[in-house]
Amino acid sequence: MATERTLSIIKPDAVAKNAIGDIIARFEKAGLKVVAAKMVHLSEEKAGGFYAEHKERPFFKDLVGFMTSGPVVVQVLEGEGAIAKNRDLMGATNPKEAAPGTIRADFAETIDANAVHGSDSPESAEREISYFFGNDEICPR
């Protein structure tokens, strides 16, 4: 499998729980490398643009409200099959359906406050990485 990059966001609920380190440790233990990272408090415009694919969905307003409710940690993760590997580590969108031992099973409370985001395809990963990081902010290792 090829080396890939994916965008990960530790969402406001997990930052508020002081779980940044625990979550990043899971990525590193699974063989993913952090090649870029920053903490940001998203504006409505930035969060809405990030989730633009969901603009017409009934949960869009709540999603943007939640994503702007506190700081997040945005990272680029690199590794073999990084996109699928990260989605496996995250677990299902609804934490009640997330497999035991996944990040969402262990740290998330609800489908709205679900601890992490991860890109869902190579196309999303490319768009999402460039949405947050310039090339000079990514450190290949």
User: Annotated active-site positions, please?
Assistant: 117
118 belongs to the binding site for ligand RTP (CB under 6 A): yes
Phi, psi at 117, each rounded to 5°: -120, 145
* 38 annotated to bind ligand: no
Other CB atoms within 10 A of residue 130 CB: 12
Side-chain half-sphere exposure of 129, counting CA atoms within 13 A: 24
Other CB atoms within 10 A of residue 132 CB: 18
Q: Which residues have CB under 8 Å from 44's CB, separation 6+?
A: 64, 68
* 60 annotated to bind ligand: no
Q: Please state the closest distance from residue 111 (CB atom) to ligand RTP, in A.
A: 5
Within 7-26, the residues that bind ligand RTP by CB under 6 A are: none
Q: Which of 42, 95, 117, 132 binds ligand RTP (CB under 6 A)?
A: 117
Q: Please state the closest distance from residue 108 (CB atom) to ligand RTP, in A.
A: 9
What residues are designated binding site?
11, 59, 87, 93, 104, 114
